[in-house]
Amino acid sequence: MKHYDVLVIGGGIAGISAAKALDGLKVLLVEKSDRLGGILNQCLHRGFGKDMTGPEYISGILSDFPENINVALKTAVTDITPQKTATLRHENSTEEISFSELILATGCMERPTGHMLIAGSRPEGVYTAGQVQEMINIHGIIPPSPAVILGSGDIGLIVAKHLFENNVEVTIVEIKDQLGGLARNRMWLEGYDVKIMINTTVKKILGEESINGVVLTDGTHIPAKTLIAATGLIPDREILKYKNYPFEIHICGNCKEVFPMVEGVARDAERAANAAIENIRRNNDR
Amino acid sequence: MKKYDSVVIGGGVLGAFVLRSLRRYDISCILLEASGDIAGGITRANTAIVYTASDNRPGSLKAEMAKRANENFHELCNDLGVRFSRCGSLMVSFGEKGDEVLRKKLIQGEENGVRGMKIISGSEAKMLQPLLSENVTTALYSPMTGTVNPWELTIAAFENAVQNGAQAKMNAKVIDIIPTDEGYEVKTENDVFFAKTVFNCAGLEADKIHSLVSNDGIRLSIDGADFIVFDKYAPKPDMIIFHETENGKGITAVPTVEGNLIVDSPPREADNSFDTTSEGLDYIIENLNKVLPELDTKRIIRSFGALRPNPHKPDGRSIHSFCIENPSPGFYSLIGIKTPGLTCADEIGKYLAGFAVEYLSAKINEDFDPVRKTGDHIGGEIICLCENITKGEIISAIKRGAKDIHGIKRRTGALMGKCQGSRCSIKIKKILEEYNETL
């Protein structure tokens, strides 16, 4: 069984930043997709570092990525045992490895649309904000107009801007009495023709094959060919299931808590890396 | 015109098992499915329960079939390579009327030969399932109840039937059936199939298909139910919980083979669509609070609607037994086969194949192999991050007949995780497009 000083799970900004801070140790960085960078790969808005897009930010951070860090792409960690071993799955084969320290950098996911228990049909044209971002930025597909965006956090606002700039008529529906999100993401709305409805939410989805409208709690009917749920991010730590591990797991980045800025993720990952280094040093001294 | 011994109309769980059962004999057969894929109608939305016979009148066909089916279910799923969990069930009541229903079910179940049932107190039930409410007065424990994924079972039975020589045609909606001297001409928009025997397993359309050859006036009324789904990581009961209110059936909570918990509402009116209703969803949440108050509703990831066809006589009276009709020689209709239809699908398939064998004087198919062969998974990039489903597995699902993301979901389990496809559905649609372009 191969042994690593540190196993880092997740190849987004948190995992990359942690791995870089571990230079000199025997590190394995595991990523499920075929490239590093995580969700930033689909973020083309200039919201990272010094006015950079997600991919620009990633290439910056990867430009001095140490060569001696082992990176396993297209690989999933399917189990972590209390004995500090992990099962990796790659293609059709599985491999057991052991580790001294574990850094979890698995990011977050969007709360699924289904969580909201909206009544009605389940037609085509209902997406989460992240899906729309992927459609526009990666595949160049603009969802049909008009669109209703449910939720006004940062992601909802960013997607609203994307859509508006692509000539999609946008209505934002927010259950609270004011818009959410960072001020810089809210600012552009002034002077833009985006309809905003507060203190209400979507109660029912209409349409058979494809969506043709939504009904709000007060009964208002809004025509819509696209419904986008932007109702929040939840940390993804499901790999730990509800097991109790007899060792410290360094949880960092968005799988610990959802950070508003990428720099916060990177700093938190470096903190986790330093904690792992400290544990290794202490065990060596013993 | 293509000639067959049997045409099976409808690619739901019943059609799949009738088709497979016919291939136990030397009967040439084809399944015609109106849509582009199997298991996409009422089969896809179901409580997923493998019942014992405790709900059925002693001596009835349902009781007889349910008992045998339940006992054989493990072997069936083993043959087909399908997950089955004999998780057991607790039917819980909250007052005297409910307690009485439970006692009657026990007597009925024992009369039907259901093994291991017993009545326990509310506090004993809570010891078995700590998430249950303290207000449970009585519970009926039944260790033989189980759960299976209905579409997984259907696809497996269908694939095994095809491996044993059955044929199938998708996008083949039956528009007319003409009786002839030797059998039936079954017409679809583009084809005519001749068959000596016809098996109408058309689900929501079964009464319409039946009326093409019969004037008996049996018709369907459709009701529905709402369901919610909890993610796999929610603390949950590990047995099926049937909730008996003081006024009849309440919610049912089922820990599925995938590890989720699904909870349904009692039957409600439906307008022939799979839409969910606010009333049904609210009912579930309200009653979960009474039955399993500690469940974490933050872990709800999905809701869906189900439909159930109920057979009626022309005068409106309900038909309570399995409605299996033989309106003309060699023509068999399954009209509104509801609970325990999923449990009994294999039994019903064998029962109908029995008629065909007699009618056609068919011989046993010595080459029939009940074991489904499953392809090797192929790797590649992990597309579904929640369930770790690879690109190779998705392509293999397309080769096995998946036409859209729903077909991929039913064949691989992709899109069923906690993110419900928000991280992979666009990628999967791209893979489908790319694959279809290479054809």
Whether residues A92 and B228 touch (CB distance < 8 A) is answered with: no
Whether B238 and chain A come into contact, CB under 8 Å, resolves to no
Q: Clarify whether residues A148 and A221 are in a common domain.
A: yes
Whether residues B228 and A139 touch (CB distance < 8 A) is answered with: no
Per-residue pLDDT tens over the stretch B127-153: 999 999 999 999 999 999 999 999 999
- Rounded CA-CA distance A55/A60 in Å is 9
Whether B259 and chain A come into contact, CB under 8 Å, resolves to no
pLDDT class for B209, splitting at 50, 70, 90? very high
Q: Which of A191, A209, A231 is the last residue of a domain?
A: A231
pLDDT class for B378, splitting at 50, 70, 90? confident
Per-residue pLDDT tens over the stretch A127-184: 999 999 999 999 999 999 999 999 999 889 999 998 999 999 999 999 999 999 888 8
Q: Which residues on chain B are in Cβ contact (under 8 Å) with A33?
A: 381-382
Q: Clarify whether residues A197 and A141 are in a common domain.
A: yes
Q: Clarify whether residues A127 and A187 are in a common domain.
A: yes
pLDDT at A110: 94
pLDDT at B109: 96
Compute how many other C-beta atoms are within 10 angstroms of the C-beta atom of residue A181. 20
Per-residue pLDDT tens over the stretch B7-41: 999 999 999 999 999 999 999 999 999 999 999 99
- Cis link prior to B143 (omega < 30° from 0)? no
The alpha carbon of residue A109 is apart from the nearest alpha carbon of chain B, in Å, by: 7
Alpha helix positions (H), B84-211: 96-111, 122-128, 150-163, 206-211
pLDDT at A240: 87
Amino acid in the structure at residue B68? R
Whether residues B422 and A109 touch (CB distance < 8 A) is answered with: yes
Whether B385 and chain A come into contact, CB under 8 Å, resolves to yes
ipTM for the predicted complex comes to 0.90
Smallest Cβ–Cβ distance between B275 and the set A110, A114, A120 belongs to A120
Cα dihedral B403, B406, B409, B415 in deg (nearest 10): 130
pLDDT at A91: 82
Residues 6+ apart with CB under 8 A from A229: A110, A111, A112, A113, A116, A126, A127, A128, A129, A150, A151
Smallest Cβ–Cβ distance between A119 and the set B281, B419, B426 belongs to B281
Per-residue pLDDT tens over the stretch A247-269: 999 999 999 999 999 999 999 99
Q: Clarify whether residues A69 and A40 are in a common domain.
A: yes
Whether residues A92 and B377 touch (CB distance < 8 A) is answered with: yes
**Mean pLDDT along residues A113-140:** 93
Interface of B with A in 103-162 (CB under 8 A): none
Domains of chain B: 2-44+150-218+319-360 (3.50.50.60), 89-143+222-311 (3.30.9.10), 382-438 (1.10.10)
Residues 6+ apart with CB under 8 A from B31: B7, B8, B9, B10, B11, B15, B16, B19, B38, B158, B161, B166, B167, B168, B169
Q: Average model confidence (pLDDT) for chain B?
A: 96
Q: Which residues on chain A are in Cβ contact (under 8 Å) with B419?
A: 109-110, 112, 236
Q: Which residue of A has its CA nearest to B306?
A: A121
Q: Which of A231, A257, A277 is the last residue of a domain?
A: A231
Q: Which residues on chain A are in Cβ contact (under 8 Å) with B416?
A: none
Q: Are strands B192-200 and B184-188 parallel, antiparallel or unpaired?
A: antiparallel
Instruction: Tell me which residue range forms the domain holding A223.
Output: 112-231
Whether residues A114 and B420 touch (CB distance < 8 A) is answered with: yes
Q: Clarify whether residues A124 and A204 are in a common domain.
A: yes
Q: Which of B388, B365, B366 is nearest to B377 (CA)?
A: B388
pLDDT class for A242, splitting at 50, 70, 90? low
Q: Which residues on chain A are in Cβ contact (under 8 Å) with B302?
A: 112, 114-115
- Tally of domains in chain A: 2
The alpha carbon of residue B362 is apart from the nearest alpha carbon of chain A, in Å, by: 43
Q: How many CB pairs under 8 A join A and B?
A: 100
Q: Clarify whether residues A42 and A179 are in a common domain.
A: no
Q: Average model confidence (pLDDT) for chain A?
A: 94
CATH classification of the domain holding A17: 3.50.50.60
Q: Clarify whether residues A192 and A54 are in a common domain.
A: no
Q: Are strands B219-230 and B300-312 parallel, antiparallel or unpaired?
A: antiparallel
Q: A interface mutation test: which of B233, B278, B396 has the most A CBs within 10 A?
A: B278
Q: Clarify whether residues A95 and A169 are in a common domain.
A: no
pLDDT at A286: 77
Per-residue pLDDT tens over the stretch A24-44: 999 999 999 999 999 999 999
- Rounded CA-CA distance A186/A176 in Å is 15
Smallest Cβ–Cβ distance between A120 and the set B231, B276, B378 belongs to B276
Per-residue pLDDT tens over the stretch A190-201: 878 899 999 999
Q: Which of A22, A19, A11 is nearest to A279 (CA)?
A: A22
pLDDT class for B46, splitting at 50, 70, 90? very high
Q: Which of A212, A231, A250 is the last residue of a domain?
A: A231
Smallest Cβ–Cβ distance between B419 and the set A76, A109, A208 belongs to A109
- Is the Cβ–Cβ distance between B47 and B221 less than 8 Å? no
Q: Which residue has the higher pLDDT, B298 or A185?
A: B298
Whether residues A117 and B430 touch (CB distance < 8 A) is answered with: no
Q: Clarify whether residues A13 and A67 are in a common domain.
A: yes
List Cα–Cα distances, B283 to B7, B234, B291, in angstroms.
Answer: 42, 20, 12
Q: Clarify whether residues A33 and A141 are in a common domain.
A: no
Q: Clarify whether residues A82 and A220 are in a common domain.
A: no
Smallest Cβ–Cβ distance between A114 and the set B277, B301, B382 belongs to B301
Q: In this model, does residue B300 exceed pLDDT 90?
A: yes
The alpha carbon of residue B303 is apart from the nearest alpha carbon of chain A, in Å, by: 6
